Amino acid sequence: MTVTVIIPTKNEERSIKKIINRCKKHADEMLIVDGHSKDNTRKIAEELSVRVVLDHGKGKGDGLRVGIQEAKGDIIVFIDADGSHDPEDIPQLVKPIQDGKADLVVGSRGKGGSDELHGDVEKLLRMIGSDIILIGINKRWKVHLTDSQNGFRAIRTDVARQLDLKENITTIEQEMTMKCLKKGFRVDEIPTHEYKREYGDSVIKLKKVWFRYIWSFLKNLI
Ligand SMILES: Nc1nc2c(ncn2[C@@H]2O[C@H](COP(=O)(O)OP(=O)(O)O)[C@@H](O)[C@H]2O)c(=O)[nH]1
Ligand SMILES: [Mg+2]
């Protein structure tokens, strides 16, 4: 099965070159979905001969949806541009799909650890919130997942296209997991470590988005 590696980007000129170069050997196709970066992100990607498409400016979820439509590979791997995810984990991430054992494989920080979920109050709240959602998902579908949110994941392209994903921001990750479970697709996890983003700040400002996480969670439970 062929693999499309999709990197959503917004103002990642400082880390994009490294991540592209590290992903290339794991990809049959590479695709950057850019959220209208104001820096040189797109230029750098094009100089490295990687195809760049724009999202509609609504957020990372919008970007992932555009990527799902544009991908040519049988399997899509989503990996962030900020250095949080290790491209060397990609072979393990796609293996359960290639072996015909899973339709969605999430890189689990519960199993692999995270440098972004511990150490200050914002991170603590982020972890508590995502764990509450995780417990809800596990109870609702009687599964034992350990990460409901990680953006580092692999999914069969045809499955991704059947999910009717609607979330415009990072809530798309829990939506994707929940809709896969709801539709009876097989969700698996492998341990992956999450590193601290190399430069700049996360787009997730908890104060602004916490209610969108809860609303999207409740909506997708039924
Ligand atoms: N296409 C697209 N990508 C985005 C957007 N916002 C953030 N990203 C990318 O999504 C990835 C995750 O963003 P980040 O801010 O690190 O969120 P966090 O890892 O969940 O804290 C990074 O590669 C960002 O550059 C957007 O509006 N559109
Ligand atoms: Mg990040």
CATH of 3-221, one of 3.30.43.10, 3.90.550.10, 3.10.20.30, 3.40.50.720: 3.90.550.10
With residue 176 as reference, give the H or E element that holds it.
Answer: helix 172-182
- Substitution candidate for ligand 1 out of 60, 126, 196 with most atoms within 8 A of CB: 60
C-alpha angle 102/106/111, rounded to 5°? Answer: 115
Ligand 1 interacting residues, C-beta cut-off 6 A: 8-10, 12, 33-35, 55, 59-60, 63, 80-82, 84, 151, 170, 197, 202-204
The ligand 1 atom at the shortest distance from the C-alpha of residue 80 is 23
Q: Which ligand is nearest to the CA of 60?
A: 1
- Nearest-CA residue for atom 16 of ligand 1: 202
Distance 82 CA to ligand 2 centre (A): 6
How far is the centre of ligand 1, averaged over its atoms, from the C-alpha of 148 (Å)?
17
pLDDT at 190: 98
pLDDT (tens digit, 0 to 9) for every residue of the chain, 222 residues total?
999 999 999 999 999 999 999 999 999 999 999 999 999 999 999 999 999 999 999 999 999 999 999 999 999 999 999 999 999 999 999 999 999 999 999 999 999 999 988 899 989 999 999 999 999 999 999 999 999 999 999 999 999 999 999 999 999 999 999 999 999 999 999 999 999 998 988 887 888 899 999 999 999 998
Angle at 193 between CA 178 and CA 13, to 5 degrees: 90
For residue 7, which atom of ligand 1 is closest to its CA? 23
Q: Kindly state the tokens that stand for 8.
A: 């959503």
The pTM (predicted TM-score) of the whole model is: 0.97
**Residue 52, pLDDT score:** 98
* Gap between the Cα atoms of 191 and 100, Å rounded: 19
Question: What is the Cα–Cα distance from 58 to 178, expressed in whole angstroms?
Answer: 21
- Contact of 10 with 35, CB cutoff 8 Å: yes
Answer for the pair 64, 34: CB distance below 8 angstroms, yes or no: no
